[in-house]
Amino acid sequence: MVVRMRHNRSQTGQHRAHHALKAQGLQYCECGAPKVSHRACPVCGRYKGRVVLDLAGKAATKAAKLAKKQEGNKSEAQK
């Protein structure tokens, strides 16, 4: 099959000049942590001044689960 509308090297390079990756725009949250714009803060869970993610509750649940797992491992070791 023959390519009818072939681009020369110059046109190909001009087309690819816009394919570079750009760095994400970082903003700073009220807590001072850097975050990606239009996203909730990964540190405090706030977005536009409101708490939208319950990160404290999530951390407490994770800690309780880990403690229960370690307690189970200790009881198995004693057997």
* Residue-range definition of the domain harbouring residue 32: 23-77
- The pLDDT value given to residue 79: 63
Residue 63 covered by a domain: yes
- The pLDDT value given to residue 33: 93
Residue 72 covered by a domain: yes
- Phi/psi of residue 6, nearest 5 degrees: -75, 140
What is the band of 1 on the pLDDT scale with cuts at 50, 70, 90? low
- The pLDDT value given to residue 56: 83
Q: Phi-psi category of 46—alpha, beta or left, where left has phi over 0 and alpha has psi -120 to 50?
A: beta
Residue 62 covered by a domain: yes
State how many domains the chain has.
1
Q: What is the pLDDT of residues 25-72, one digit of tens each?
A: 899 999 999 999 999 999 989 999 898 888 888 889 999 999 998 887
Residue 36 covered by a domain: yes
pTM above 0.75, yes or no: no
Residue 33 covered by a domain: yes
Token digits of residue 61: 């649940």
Residue 39 covered by a domain: yes
CB 44 within 8 A of CB 30: yes
Residue 2 covered by a domain: no
